[in-house]
Every structure is written in structure tokens, then in C-alpha cells.
Amino acid sequence: MMAPIEQLDVWLFRLLNLHLVHPAIDDLMVFLTNGRLSWPVFVFVALFIVARKGKTGFLLILFALFAVGLADFVASGLLKPLVQRVRPCFALDHVRLLIHQPYSYSFASSHAANSSAVAALTWIYFHRGVLLEKLFTALMILYAMAVSYSRIYVGVHYPGDVLAGMVIGTGSALLTYLLFSWILKNIIQPRQMRGLRSSNG
């Protein structure tokens, strides 16, 4: 017998996967859920960051890659083999499955984790900027939410998997920001200061 939380998760999944759907947005959900199809979005993000931040933008892209790698490792490398939750498309009857799905575990959603990591870092570095940067931040948050939602819509994740992935991604971004801020403050900047003092005699 399923626990109440799991019952709620299944109920929400059926609501979002079977009832709150429309054929007109099926292709959009498949596009959002498939990283190979939506790669132009990532190119646009990288170009925007470099255009707005200059040379520092390359460092921010490195931060984002690190945060995504950390989020993906926690979601797919640690939690999926540990929890071993079967995907809804294989565990439940009458699932509306829109994509081919290999037999990997469900908890937590690495798509939600990875997109949320990028969105969280975008918020950290751009939400206080000019209007264009604020709009970019809002767009990235909406994109991460849409990608996360698409995993339920296409039938491969429970809402709980997606929520956990979003928490993991946000946490990975914050940890990355704190780690690299500490390295910058305690290692890189002191070395730069010592180098300036040495060059000035």
C-alpha cells in the first residue's frame, strides 16, 4: 500500500499527465524535454552572458557548468541508484508517454536539477542588473520551470521527482557560488594583490 505522500504524487502526476494536457502543446513539451533539440537555447544563454559580462562571462559559464555537473551527479549519480524509484511510465497504467524512455530510475529528475542550477546562477548574477538582465533572469526561471514541468507532461517523472530536482539544482548553484566566491576572496585576490605589490617594488 502506498504512503499518503506517494499517493498524492501519483494523483498529481495523473492530473498533469492525463487531464491538464492539450495536443497543441505536445510538440513544445517534447522540445523542452529534449536537450538535443533545445541546444540553441543554451547557446543563446552563453552568448548573452558573455555579451553582458565580457571576460567575466566565461568564468560565469564555467560556474554554470560546474553547478550543472554537481546537480546531475547528485540527482543521477547518487539518488537514482539509491532510491531506485521506477518511472511512472513503467509503474502506472494508461500513462500518456510522448517520448522514448530508457529503463533508468525516476528520483530525482536530472533535467529539473540541471535547468534549475542554471536558472539559480542566472538569478544570483543578473537579478539586480538593468531591465534587460532582469528580463533575462525571469526568462531563464520560466524556462527551467517549463523544462521541469515537461518531464511530468511527457510521462517520465512524478511531480515529487521534479520538485526534488529543482531543490538539488538550486542548492548546487548556491554551493557553487559560495565555493567560488570563497576561492576568489581567499586565494585569487590575495595572490593578485601580492603580485601588484611585487611589481611596484
Model pLDDT for residues 132-169, shown as the tens digit of each residue:
999 999 999 999 999 999 999 999 999 999 999 999 99
Distance (Å) of CA 83 to CA 28, 76, 188: 30, 10, 40
Q: Is the pLDDT of residue 174 over 80?
A: yes
Of 171, 166, 149, 167, nearest to 158 (Cα)?
149
Q: Is the pLDDT of residue 115 over 70?
A: yes
Model pLDDT for residues 87-111, shown as the tens digit of each residue:
999 999 999 999 987 788 999 999 9
Retrieve residue 6's grid coordinates: 506517494
Domains and CATH numbers, the chain: 23-199 (1.10.606.20)
Q: What is the pTM of this model?
A: 0.89
Distance (Å) of CA 65 to CA 3, 47, 60, 97: 37, 15, 9, 30
pLDDT band at 197 (very low <50, low <70, confident <90, very high): low
Q: Is the pLDDT of residue 201 over 60?
A: no
